[in-house]
Amino acid sequence: MHSLQQRDPEIFSLIQQEEVRQKEKIRLIASENYVSKAVMEATGSVLTNKYSEGYPGKRYYEGQQFIDQVESLAIQRAKELFGAEHVNVQPYSGSPANLAVYLAFLNPGDTILGMALPHGGHLTHGAKVSISGKYFHAESYALDEQTGLLNYDTIQEKAMDCKPKILIAGHSAYPRVLDFARFREIADACGALLLVDMAHFSGLVAGGAHPSPFPYADIVTTTTHKSLRGPRGAMILCKEAHAAAIDKAVFPGLQGGPHNNTTAAIAVALKEASTDTFRNYAAQIVTNARALADTLLGKGFNLVTGGTDNHLMLIDLTSKEVTGKIAAKALDAAGIVLNYNAVPYDKRKPFDPSGIRLGSAAVTSRGFKEAEMVQIGLWIDAVISNPTNTAQQAEIAAAVKELCSRFPAPGLEHLM
């Protein structure tokens, strides 16, 4: 980044500091990862210079000899990896991808049914503060108060009652796999389209570590930057019957020119995700999450649903007498980065909730295995048991830095 250093030393310095932070901290934010150097090179390429409104073979600008091939490769790789009939790789991110689906199939005021935001749904699944809850009639389903699990019978009751046009399965904070066959039954019973938002677990689906929604869903959306380990972007995958409606909704319905540098990086990430190495990575994400969950359960933590079978854990800290925010800030000072999060039926406010959310995708990318996850669990317990002990936080931060120095993070090898 020699030119950047000369042209804009302030930004250069901030990027450098962020590189060091990512190298030296244990990153447990469930939606984050480390992309490869190859993905970063594609993201930072000259493809950012090109406009290409339209789709391969049908553009509004000339000079698409190479861009068409890039986008076609990304589409082909996504189809093969997930077994999808049609793929649109142009959504700028996960939120516009979901909006494009609504634009394709709904009129303002139509009903959608998704998981409630405080129970692990995403803003774009109908939260009142989001355009998805303002422009559409959004209904939501909750988790079971006793078990923290989805109760498919109550989802069915709700669906039969409100008759949504789109039923949404998918989440940002549910630590269990979803029963897509059951969601399909419910969608069929109430006459809805089934949208699966697999943003969080698409890397697990790609690597065979999570059931695939593709035999059941009408439309699947995913971000590309979480467990799938690609650039910040998104895809919509669907049955051929919906291809025209989806493509029209993305462009010209919602967006202008696609971000071709991102499209190329998505293609690279999809190639990486098609390898045996990635299958092993996906399996290790789940193994690592379980190892951390078991350690925390052993220390008396209350994990929502009692554990995990994907990449994430949600912990209710009420019994530990510490709020999510205090815990997250103390852990950050100790070099362990995660986010505070609402838990189902939380009595506290969203900006100061009772829980924390943890994920294993990023640390697994740097090669952590079960032993390191157990160690992380012990550190988390020590910090949360004594959140005002800043001397202990500094000691753990030093130990975290030492551990991280033995596990080079992808894309940051030049710092090791």
150 near ligand PLP, rule: CB under 6 A:
no
Shortest distance, CB of residue 354 to ligand PLP, whole angstroms? 20
Shortest distance, CB of residue 232 to ligand PLP, whole angstroms? 6
Shortest distance, CB of residue 267 to ligand PLP, whole angstroms? 18
> 68 to 127, contacts with ligand PLP by CB under 6 A?
93-95, 98, 122, 124
Residue 226 falls in the annotated catalytic set: yes
Number of residues binding to ligand PLP, judged by CB under 6 A:
14
Q: The dihedral of CA 222, 115, 204, 341: what is its sign?
A: positive
| Active-site hit among 223, 263, 305, 308 | 223
| Active-site hit among 59, 79, 182, 232 | 232
33 near ligand PLP, rule: CB under 6 A:
no
223 near ligand PLP, rule: CB under 6 A:
yes
Residue 287's CB is within 10 A of a number of other CB atoms, namely: 16
The answer to whether the beta carbons of residues 326 and 338 sit under 8 Å apart is no
From the list 167-175, 185-193, 247-255, 327-335, the region that binds ligand PLP by CB under 6 A is: 167-175
Q: How many residues does the chain have?
A: 416
Nearest residue to 363 (alpha-carbon basis) of 24, 28, 19, 23 = 28
Residue 59 falls in the annotated catalytic set: no
Structure tokens at 21: 């932070």
Q: Are strands 137-141 and 312-316 parallel, antiparallel or unpaired?
A: unpaired
176 near ligand PLP, rule: CB under 6 A:
no
CB-based closest residue to ligand PLP: 94
The answer to whether the beta carbons of residues 327 and 340 sit under 8 Å apart is yes
User: Which residue lies nearer to ligand PLP by CB, 193 or 397?
Assistant: 193
Q: What are phi and psi of 258, to 5 degrees?
A: -70, 155
* DSSP assignment string, 155-194: HHHHHHHH--SEEEEE-SS--S---HHHHHHHHHHHT-EE
31 near ligand PLP, rule: CB under 6 A:
yes
Cα within 13 Å of Cα(389), Cβ side: 13
Residue 223 falls in the annotated catalytic set: yes
Tokens 């994430």: give the residue: 312
From the list 16-24, 192-200, 312-320, 342-350, the region that binds ligand PLP by CB under 6 A is: 192-200
Helix (H) or strand (E) holding 378: helix 370-385
Shortest distance, CB of residue 342 to ligand PLP, whole angstroms? 14
User: Which residue lies nearer to ligand PLP by CB, 197 or 372?
Assistant: 197
Residues in contact with ligand PLP by the rule CB under 6 A: 31, 93-95, 98, 122, 124, 170-172, 197, 199-200, 223
Residues labelled catalytic: 51, 53, 197, 223, 226, 232
